[in-house]
Amino acid sequence: MDILFSTERIAERIAAMGNEITEFYRDRPLTVIALMNGGICFAADLSRAIALPIWLDSIGVASYANRTSTGTLDFRSTLKLDPKGREILLLDEVLDTGTTLKHVSEKLRALGAAGVHTAVMVEKEIPRPNGLAHADWAGFLCPQRYLVGYGLDADERYRNLPYIAAID
């Protein structure tokens, strides 16, 4: 394993992102939606770093099988909160192909969200012709590598690592 982002670097970046997001949403009610399962670690840490009252929800989605993007999105659960009229910050651990964030953002807008922004822990530096081009906030940029840790997995393993590593 090649450790790319240490526990300490992640904590520092989360604190900075929390400050940036707090300033951006300063006078607006904010609903944070975590994409599960991968976004759980990032969402827990970032939501605590946002110095505003927030509503917190999650939705289960999957676009990978056997370590490969399927190109489709499987909604595995539904939201508890109605997104209509809400300012939403959508959190995921990684922006890879962009398919997941693009489709979930579109669905939230179609359900009447007042605004949808995105934040990811890692944004891969790759072309995304059919996905979301960039996240509004990204913890780190990195080249195309297979990442694990801090919510990222390889066949559901390694999510609990406190750092982000490449296993390619």
Contact yes or no for 146/166 (Cβ under 8 A): yes
Cβ neighbours, 10 Å, residue 117: 17
Residue 23, SS3 per DSSP: helix
163 within 8 A of 7, measured Cβ to Cβ: yes
Task: Give the Cα separation of 124 and 139 in Å (integer).
Answer: 11
Query: Six-digit token pair at 148?
Result: 């694990």
Catalytic residue positions? 96
- In the chain the beta strands, taken as DSSP E runs, fall at 2-5, 30-36, 54-65, 68-75, 87-95, 115-124, 137-142, 147-148, 164-166
- CA dist 151 and 148 (Å) reads 7
